Structure 1
């Protein structure tokens, strides 16, 4: 999954819960046309961040489902695993294809009455102009261009540092959960291509 772009975080963290919950806030009827225009421009500039948020809302439960399904498939008879995995993958792909555009469009539609309302309430017209000037400045654009490189550098270094330790600890957790469930999983450190142990009957 792609991480939320750094440029979107400050503007949308406060509004994320509202968008996800579908709560609606109305912009003040006293907002000047000039201020409304500034807010609309800001929302347009940040649409990529809004769409990323929508994808995250969809991907989080799908990711959890796939993790559970993967564990369940490993406990199936070997001759049934491939067909089951392909069927699940097809169902998940169809779900994402069917619901992705709906959630994205809904998030974009809700943005003016949630994110826009917060911008209207907490920023003056002059502050919005300053914010737009910053976002459109060469320095801001340069920062946004390197933000993915910065995130990747940190992610790569973090995984290199904690990857082996985390893998071992996660394998221990899997073994503990499997023991509670009365099923078997590949032992910690097993090769990814190793044949999983058969489920206990």
Structure 2
């Protein structure tokens, strides 16, 4: 009789535990679903970072080595290649994030949060106030950034110019004067007859 009672209690506890675990998994899946936009943005940023580096490097090379009359056309060709890259890279990174987010993030949520905490987190993520706040973040960030740049510009600009001049001098010296070869050099005036 005691064995049957113990077995019934163990079965009930196991069923409760499985039910609680299933509930916790369901809450985690809701949290992951509500984070889809953030995952998409992260994916876009991951794919765009190398494109920004490529564009910056290409821009420098175009300015330094391409004849002025060919720069615009060359820049357009580079833009086409970068767009092709992004058209393939963004969906690939997004698919990878979608595929891995559940298997990577679910165990972390399940381990680090109780079911009650997960429910609170889900409620917070679904909050209209949080959604409104998040929608205002770009505007608030841009407004602050504009003010910071305007305020700091008088102190930073001279430092930047000094750094640029010093770096240019270092590169000029290291390249044996090749940096300025494309620039017009002043020509000496012929000495007048006396």
Q: TM-score, normalised by structure 1?
A: 0.68
State the number of aligned residues: 160
Check conservation: 1:38, 1:129, Cα contact below 8 A: yes
Query: Does the CA contact (< 8 Å) of 1:54 and 1:103 recur in 2?
Result: yes
> Which of the residues 176, 179, 182 maps onto 1:183?
179
**Separation in 2, partners of 1:85, 1:171:** 26
Alignment of 1:25-64 (within 5 A): 32-64=21-53
What is the RMSD computed on CA atoms of the aligned residues? Answer: 2.7
Query: Alignment partner for residue 102 of structure 1, among 92, 103, 107?
Result: 92
Q: In the superposition, relative to structure 1, how do residues 59 and 162 fare at CA in structure 2: closer, same or farther (>3 Å)? A: farther
Map of 1:30-179 to 2, 5 A cutoff? 32-75=21-64, 76-163=66-153, 166=156, 169-175=159-165, 176-177=167-168, 179=172
Determine which structure has greater relative contact order: mean sequence separation of CA pairs < 8 Å that are 6+ residues apart, divided by chain length: 1
TM-score, normalising length: structure 2: 0.70
| Secondary structure of 1:198's aligned partner | coil
Q: Which has the higher helix share?
A: 2
Q: CA deviation at 1:83?
A: 2.1
Q: Structure 1 residues 168 and 54, CA, compared in 2 at 3 Å: closer, same or farther?
A: farther
Which runs of no fewer than 5 residues in structure 1 stay unpaired? 1-28, 185-196
Runs of 5+ unmatched residues, structure 2: 1-17, 185-194
